[in-house]
Amino acid sequence: MRLTVNGQSHDVEFDVRTSLLDLLRETIGLTGTKKGCDHGQCGACTILVNGRRINSCLTLAAMHEGDEITTIEGLGSPDGLSPMQEAFFEHDGYQCGFCTPGQIVSATAMLEEAGKGWPSHVSASLEGEMRLTPEEISERMSGNLCRCSAYPNINDAIAEVAGGKS
Amino acid sequence: MREFQFARAADPAGACSAAAGAGRFIAGGTNLLDLMKLEIERPEKLVDISRLPLDEVEETPEGGLRIGALVPNADLAAHAAVRMRYPVLSRALLAGASGQLRNKASTGGNLLQRTRCYYFYDTAMPCNKRDPGSGCGAIGGFNRIHAILGASDKCIATHPSDMAVAMRALDAQVETLKGDGSTRSIAISELYRLPGDTPEIENVLEQGELITHVVLPPPPPGRHAYRKVRDRASYAFALVSVAAIVAVEDGRITSARLAFGGLAHMPWRDPAVEDLLVGQAPGEEAFRRAADKLLENARGYGGNDFKIPLARRTLMATLHDIAGGRA
């Protein structure tokens, strides 16, 4: 089967039970995407499929032929950090770093969702103008857990990128 | 995870024939794969329906919406017509899961997701739903999240969906396609079953029957609210939730639709509760009588006793919010 990851196509063979997460890490060798809970609860495995953030642990690799898959490695590189990577660095938005790739990929896509005007559970109005307040950022990022609890700095990093965008 | 055959369906009819016998449909997979990893679900064959053309939201001639079964929860919550005309549905969807899961989870799959009962998930424990006849670990065990209405001595699990609660209040119809090519439309009030003696049978769908659409009738009159009470502020299942649509004219309630999550094996709705409210002036007394009616047959199992007063307070607070009548 052919998979497109970070713009590169890969011809891969795998057991049909393989999650997209395991395929990325074990077969393709992109280990930036982390396996935390493996049950969709922690968000460490967040990647983009056709631009949307999903939990790569809860989807079968076999279901993604032809999809555009983006991992943390596709967002930026040590020599060319993405704005969100740069902001996490600037704001010290991590402690142990294990959840960080998932946080950054999730936050990047979350800003796209907010840019489309998608409301959240904490939005006062479903139709009114939406501002990415700290409360909005926390709610929209609730699928990414940080066991070190670096949330204040994670939120600051995201808020900086969000502010730059508006 | 157990081995399984994998087939990708080219069209809905092909999906139904591929699922004949022992096939299971997979769309978003966010619940099914989780359960397969734990070997709670052990399908012999998966039929991938995720690329079927069932991902549109269309207007119906009657003024309602016809939602494709594969519309992701995120897209449905953000859909302009849903936000404007069915805010209770947007609110319920946004109260559920996380951004990542809502991007993947489908409308049809959300309706059919399995309970989050701890004993259903723990394969070392008895569970009549997972292993019929083995007993219920929740009765006499840790049952904080369990049902207070419509349960049986075989099972006290709850249905976990928020979306389905809003759809129950909206009188949604579930459209399906069967392997013989026939279609049917099932009222959401008829879709789910109470546990009774067969908690492993959760709905009336037949083997190989595919949900293709969910149809919402024209929006009912009144204000909408979805109120969810849970153990943390986000990304948690409901202990109690209420989907409410209530209209008030000239100081009297003219229509009321109330559906509840977290209380039963299915999204719960009791017409007698709604009938008690219609014609009444909004206020403490009318709301208390409605709550009494809702909970007259409620039963706690120890750990979930708190849900009885919590359901009462959640209902009354929600009614005060959207119908007024606060002293």
DSSP symbols for A130-154: ----HHHHHHHTTT---TT--HHHH
Alpha carbons B314 and B16: distance in angstroms, whole number: 41
Number of domains within chain A? 2
Same domain, A68 and A90: no
Interface test with B, best of A55, A67, A108, A145 (most B CBs within 10 A): A55
Return all residues near B234 (Cβ < 8 A) that are at least 6 apart.
A121, A138, A139, A142, B98
What is the span of the domain harbouring residue A37? Answer: 2-75
Same domain, A54 and A37: yes
pTM: 0.97
Closest CA to B162 of B210, B111, B211: B111
- pLDDT band at A109; cut points 50, 70, 90: very high
Same domain, A89 and A141: yes
Domain positions in chain B: 5-50, 223-324
Chain A to chain B, count of Cβ pairs less than 8 Å apart? 97
CATH architecture of B223-324: 2-Layer Sandwich (3.30)
Q: Do B34 and A106 touch (CB under 8 A)?
A: no
B5-50 under CATH 3.30.43, yes or no: yes
**pLDDT of B42 strictly over 80:** yes
Same domain, A98 and A151: yes
**pLDDT of B8 strictly over 60:** yes
Task: For residue A136, give the CATH number of its domain.
Answer: 1.10.150.120
Q: How far is B272 from chain A (nearest CA, A)?
A: 30
What pLDDT sits at residue A127? 87
The number of beta carbons lying within 10 Å of the beta carbon of residue B187 is 11
- Please name the member of B100, B101, B234 whose beta carbon is closest to the beta carbon of A121: B234
Q: Do domains B5-50 and B223-324 have the same CATH topology?
A: no
Q: Which of A18, A48, A75 is the last residue of a domain?
A: A75
Mean pLDDT on B135-150: 98
Q: How far is B99 from chain A (nearest CA, A)?
A: 6
Q: Do B87 and A126 touch (CB under 8 A)?
A: yes
* Per-residue pLDDT tens over the stretch B155-209: 999 999 999 999 999 999 999 999 999 999 999 999 999 999 999 999 999 999 9
What pLDDT sits at residue B327? 56
Same domain, A49 and A21: yes
DSSP H stretches of helix in A26-150: 72-75, 83-90, 100-115, 134-140
Q: Which of A75, A104, A128 is the last residue of a domain?
A: A75
Same domain, A99 and A156: yes
Contact A69, A46 (CB under 8 A): no
Same domain, A25 and A71: yes
**pLDDT of A25 strictly over 80:** yes
Same domain, A104 and A42: no
Same domain, A58 and A91: no
DSSP symbols for B179-238: TTS-EEEEEHHHHB---TT-TT--BSPPTT-EEEEEEEPSPPSSEEEEEEE-SSSSS---
Task: For residue A41, give the CATH number of its domain.
Answer: 3.10.20.30
What pLDDT sits at residue A166? 46
* Per-residue pLDDT tens over the stretch B203-258: 999 999 999 999 999 999 999 999 999 999 999 999 999 999 999 999 999 999 99
Same domain, A157 and A88: yes
The number of beta carbons lying within 10 Å of the beta carbon of residue B210 is 25
- pLDDT band at B104; cut points 50, 70, 90: very high
The pLDDT mean for chain B works out to: 97
Same domain, A56 and A91: no
The number of beta carbons lying within 10 Å of the beta carbon of residue B61 is 5
Q: What percent of chain B has pLDDT over 70?
A: 100
* Per-residue pLDDT tens over the stretch B260-313: 999 999 999 999 999 999 999 999 999 999 999 999 999 999 999 999 999 999
Q: Which range among A91-100, A127-136, B29-38, B158-167 shows the weakest confidence by mean pLDDT?
A: A127-136
Closest CA to B255 of B277, B287, B273: B277
Which pair of structure tokens corresponds to residue B66? 């016809």
Same domain, A61 and A100: no
E strand or H helix that includes residue B247: strand B240-249
The pLDDT mean for chain A works out to: 96
Alpha carbons A151 and B228: distance in angstroms, whole number: 24
**Do you know the residue count of chain B?**
327
**Secondary-structure breakdown of chain B: helix, strand, coil percentages, each rounded to the nearest 5:** 30, 20, 50
Q: How far is A142 from chain B (nearest CA, A)?
A: 6
Return all residues near B247 (Cβ < 8 A) that are at least 6 apart.
B220, B221, B222, B223, B253, B254, B255, B256
Q: Which of A27, A54, A75 is the last residue of a domain?
A: A75
Closest CA to B138 of B158, B165, B157: B157
